[in-house]
Chains A and B, each alone.
Chain A
Amino acid sequence: MIEFTLWDILRNLALALRWTVALSLIAFIGGGLVGGTLLCLRIGLGRKTQRLIGAYVALFQGTPLLMQLFLAYFGLALLGIEVSAWTAASLALTLYTSAYLVEIWRGCVEAVPRGQWEAARSLAMSFGEQLRHVILPQAARLAIAPTVGFLVQVIKGTALASVIGFVELTKAGGMIANASFKPFLVFGCVALFYFALCFPVSLAAQHLERKQHGRAA
């Protein structure tokens, strides 16, 4: 039996941590781009688009992320695409993030007082100009705190990628726990690593929200 010191464990986990961070960033940025596009479509086009996007959101919010990962993994394989766990996880998490972000951002756009729309309209601005110069700047300000807060969910979501075989922090933890026969210590460290990643982000989001409310008061 190989002896694992605490240092060995931490070192190996830290290496796997890179992949957690990488996957989180891909999902967050990719999801942000897709979500932003969907938001523009939702605002710009008619009822049908709104309902479609609403269904898209309901789908991702009403089903387990684990299932979404499985479907991405096995679905892509069906299409004949050579799919690694990395690709499937990136795809699933990107779409998952996009659904939640478009919903958060939609709420922020709707939170901009109606009077702003009316004032901009009364000044003969086109719909696009109203959106770009008056509404979106205000919505973006409202969106910062909840968007940062959602990053925490994304980071936690990457842990599920371990189930389809992607070697990130959780999977590495499982492997090391098996090899070292120290599951309590290893999973404890895994939890602390996630905490170290997520807690600062949570604090930042809380701080931003307090600042937002302070300004609004």
Chain B
Amino acid sequence: MAVLPETVSADTADAADVATTASTPVPGVPIVRITALRKSYGTNEVLKGIDLDVMRGEVIALIGKSGSGKSTLLRCINGLEQFQDGSLRVADKPLLHDSAMAMRALRQQVGMIFQGFNLFPHLSVGRNVMLAPTLVKKRSDQDAAEQARTLLARVGLAEKFDAMPDQLSGGQQQRVAIARALAMEPQVLLCDEITSALDPELVGEVLRVVESLAEEGMTLLMVTHEMSFARKVADRVIFMHQGRVHEIGPPAEIFGAPRTPELRQFLKSLDE
């Protein structure tokens, strides 16, 4: 299991420091621990008690019909959504919605890639990747630029450092988004349907990058419709149904031997 390098900030107590002290790995403790999580939008309960432990280096695929709560669960983990009941611990620290500092520390541990890429259109590709490290981790421009170049090379876009996002294809933009998230050196990456908005021929380039991240030992939680990818790369697959974890297990089991009728129905609908 690869352990990602930690940054040491020269400033006194700020979000970067808080994150550093929290990221010392403790063997055996799950990196994400979700207990009895409940979330409602008004009167509509979308998460009805989720229990989940994610170990460091695991790749988890979340599948299910739309409305089953998969994206909501993911967004709870980095605090974009607030939950009403239960507990959520990341790197053994509880999620504190009220503390802006705690949330910033959390988000240095947990990165997110969005379906819509959400690159910053007014900044070049390189600056997109550099922005957060310079502001949050207080890296110098030079160091951040160097890191950005390395990461862009890693996702196969070294030559696009000075390009603007609107000059890139969807697949390229998404790969930049991955580099941007990696620049913060997170311990967990959340991927929210990151290929759903891409033309089919561009999906592969993005999935290849994700696969290489998995091979290096990054902890990944992916909401995805790419079943063949999930089968190949995931350690565990979670099938969500109506706000609950309906079935959970290794891909061979989930795809090969579905136990419940709902999962069977779902898998059948994918073939149609």
Contact = CB atoms under 8 A, between A and B. Distances in A.
A122 B100 contact: no
B88 interface: no
Given A127-B100, A129-B136, A133-B131, A121 B118 contact: no
B122 A122 contact: no
Given A123-B184, A129-B135, A116 B120 contact: yes
A111 interface: no
Nearest to A215: B166
B181 A124 contact: no
B114 A133 contact: no
Interface in B140-191: 177, 180-181, 184
Interface in A92-141: 113, 115-116, 118-127, 129, 133-134, 137-138, 141
A124 B116 contact: no
Residue in B120, B136, B180 with the greatest tally of chain A CB atoms within 10 Å = B120
Nearest to B137: A124
Contact of A124 (B114, B118, B136): B136
Contact of B116 (A115, A120, A133): A115
Interface stretch (B54-62, B104-112, B234-242): B104-112
Chain A interface residue number, banded: 10 to 19
B120 A134 contact: yes
A216 to B, nearest CB: 10
Chain A, interface SS category: helix
Contacts of B120: 116, 119-120, 133-134, 138
Residue in B19, B78, B121 with the greatest tally of chain A CB atoms within 10 Å = B121
A122 B135 contact: no
Nearest to A114: B118
Given A123-B184, A124-B184, A133-B131, A118 B108 contact: no
A122 B104 contact: no
B107 A124 contact: yes
Chain B interface residue number, banded: 20 to 34
Nearest to A115: B118
Residue in A113, A124, A126, A129 with the greatest tally of chain B CB atoms within 10 Å = A124
Contact of B100 (A113, A118, A120, A126): A126
A213 B81 CA distance: 33
B135 A138 contact: no
Contact of A123 (B100, B105, B136): B136
B107 A121 contact: yes
B136 A122 contact: no
B80 interface: yes
Contact of B114 (A115, A129, A134, A141): A115
Contact of B121 (A121, A122, A126, A138): A138
Contact of B136 (A119, A125, A134): A125
A137 B118 CA distance: 15
Contact of B107 (A116, A123, A138, A141): A123
B78 A122 contact: yes
A133 B106 CA distance: 21
Contacts of B19: 124
Contacts of A118: 80, 112, 114, 118
Nearest to B180: A123
18 contacts: A113-B116, A113-B118, A115-B118, A116-B118, A118-B80, A119-B112, A119-B119, A121-B107, A122-B181, A123-B111, A123-B184, A124-B184, A125-B104, A126-B15, A126-B104, A129-B135, A133-B120, A138-B122
Given A123-B136, A124-B132, A138-B120, 7 more contacts: A113-B118, A118-B114, A119-B112, A119-B114, A121-B79, A125-B136, A137-B122
Interface of A: 113, 115-116, 118-127, 129, 133-134, 137-138, 141
5 closest A-B pairs by CB: A119-B118, A123-B132, A124-B107, A115-B118, A122-B112
